A and B are shown apart, each in its own frame.
Chain A
Amino acid sequence: MNAFADFWAGSELWREPLLAGVLAAALLSYLGVFVVLRRMVFVSAALSEISGVGVATAFYVGAVAGIDPHSHGALPILLEPVWFSLLFACAAAALFSLRPGHRKLAAETIVGLGYIVASALVLAILNSPRIAQEAHAVGDILFGNAVTVPRTQIYALAAAGAVAVIAHGLFFKELLFVSYDPETATVQGVGVLRYEVLLNFIIAVVISVATRAVGALPVFAFTVVPAAAALMVTENIRATMPLSIAFGIISAAVGYYISWIEQLPTGATMVVVASIFLLPGLVRLAKRSTV
């Protein structure tokens, strides 16, 4: 009880990071249902890395041009890392919507290549002597730390969430149809590419914003784990989605609380808590396998 009282007393410190974690978890857990069902789990990992390349590029371009992205004026606004991050993530989302493939390479391999190249680019740019002084700040922007979150990032998350909720409210039946059976949707004149781009853009924007707020690992985990846990215990998509969101929110809140009390890394603790929700589904799976 003392631990909770201590935690409560520090509400000034955790209010914003906790809110950011919960918001990011709710959004990603909802979108994660589409991500997992569409078998595009690595698209979310790749988008997270590619948006990181955008952040690193903003700093690198600023360093080469001798402009500090955080100083004031017209040009630095254009060099703001968030724009680069969104631009890179949305461009990749558009490319992935075209389901790029090759006679010998599946679309999945191309997504994997995007992930590998993006990871290498981020490492290369971060270790460049040109931005050595800002490497730590860039690292925080790239991967977040879920401990301190500026209010602007909460607004950005809320805005991305509003866009996601409105788009899904208006086009849910189309998004479901093109995700489940793009071939028939195409034959029936439902604009498959249009809705795939919309869905991937929303995923890209939310991942890009959420990565800055809570870090790369929790973002990838919230996109996969709550949805997978909910899918294992439900048989109706209308039940899967709220359950996935609930798993995500509880994981973020409880994970944050435990990390505060036990002084553990916040993002990793959230992921561990989220993983607990996989247990009922795994038990169910084990029971079925033994029958």
Chain B
Amino acid sequence: MDLVRLERAVIGYRTPLLPPLDLAVRSGTTLGVLGPNGAGKTTLLKSMLGLLPLLSGKRVLPLGRSPRVGYVPQRDRLDQSWPLSVLDVVLMGRTHLLGPLRRFRARDKKRACEALEEIGVGELAQKPLYTLSGGQHQRVLIARAIAAEPELLVLDEPTSAMDPAAERVLLELVERLKRAHALSVVLVTHQLTAVAGFATEVALVDRARGLFEIGPAREMIDPQRLGHLYGREVRVAQVDGQTAVVIGPATNNDPPHASAASEKVRRR
């Protein structure tokens, strides 16, 4: 079952960013949206969520309504100096469930605390936001998304500025939440390692090359495709059952300024 589908969708603000694309977020899958900085990933995400109107094509909602979304924004876009407690922030995730004119009730607070416990930061509930480390703040934002009782969990660059160990821990947490809550996950990132071991489907995006490809992760995490995306030599290897990706020196083929004439759209 698809939660959201884009059909022959042309995305962008005024001018098309990518060639017409087809994309589906399927129930129970993890879709990794991968591309260099400034590739158009966030624009694709906004179009997928219906926040940005399509220039042409269709956004289809097979459920007959928008799926409930738990959203984890880029951490550095939020001001950590607000005089809010962790619980205040997590409760925000339940605002749309209550609707206007109603205050948070004991049940909402209980659910918010449960989400914090589940993420492993239950003891932080009453802490001021500004006292949190970057990793704790990220977890609080994930707890807020879970408190929203989502069907679709969307994470925008969740592992940027994280060391490899912290990145791994966070992605394992997302995987655990996905199973526990029967979620679909969309993971937008420019970090190959974040996608390599966790996504079941991968979309490669680069507006500079007019590139959009989507398919199963085992096909998309491929040296040739990734090399084409990054303009560099890429090696992919299996180490102890995990996918490792190594970026090598630059290649000369298909430079980043390739025109729209070199559009390559493949759908798998």
Q: A170 and B101: CB pair below 8 A?
A: yes
**Residue count of chain B within 8 Å CB distance of chain A:** 30
Residues 197-250 (chain A) with a chain B CB within 8 angstroms: 231, 234-237, 239-240
**From B71, B83, B154, residue with most partner A Cβ within 10 Å:** B83
CA distance A174 to B98 in the complex (A): 10
Across the interface, A189 reaches (CB within 8 A) one of B66, B83, B89, B91, namely B66
Q: Which residue of B lies closest to A172 (CB)?
A: B103
Residue contact B71 to A176, C-beta cutoff 8 Å: no
| A162 CB to nearest B CB, Å | 17
Q: Is the CB of B73 within 8 A of A183?
A: yes
A104 contacts chain B at the CB level, 8 A cutoff:
no
Residues of B137-179 whose CB lies within 8 A of A: 144, 148, 154
Q: Is A237 a contact of B71 with CB atoms below 8 Å?
A: no
Q: Note all chain B residues with C-beta closer than 8 A to A4.
A: none
Are B95 and A190 interface neighbours, CB within 8 A? yes
Question: In the complex, which of the residues A187, A190, A235, A240 contacts B130, with contact meaning CB atoms closer than 8 Å?
Answer: A235
Cβ–Cβ contact B85 & A174, under 8 A: no
| Shortest Cβ gap from A176 to chain B (Å) | 7
Given known contacts A176-B92, A180-B78, A237-B82, is B128 in contact with A187 (CB within 8 Å)? no
Q: B residues 83-105 with Cβ under 8 Å of A?
A: 83-85, 88-89, 91-93, 95-96, 98, 100-101, 103-104
CB of B95 within 8 A of CB of A188, answer yes
Q: A180-B78, A180-B82, A235-B128 are in contact. Are A171 and B49 (CB under 8 A)?
A: no
8 Å CB contacts to B: which residues of A146-205? 170-171, 173-174, 176-177, 180-181, 183-190
Chain A residue numbers with a CB within 8 Å of B96 are 188-190
- Cα–Cα, bound, A117→B71 (Å): 40
Cβ distance B131 to chain A, nearest Cβ, rounded Å: 8
A75 at the interface (CB under 8 A from B): no
**Inter-subunit contact B71/A184 (CB<8 Å):** yes
Within the complex, the shortest CB–CB distance from A253 to chain B, in Å, comes to 26
Point out residues on A near B: beta carbons under 8 Å.
37, 170-171, 173-174, 176-177, 180-181, 183-190, 231, 234-237, 239-240
Question: Hey, which bits of chain B sit against chain A, CB under 8 A?
Answer: 49, 51, 66, 69, 71, 73, 77-79, 82-85, 88-89, 91-93, 95-96, 98, 100-101, 103-104, 128, 130, 144, 148, 154
9 contacts between A and B (CB under 8 A): A170-B100, A171-B101, A180-B89, A183-B73, A184-B144, A188-B71, A190-B95, A190-B96, A237-B88
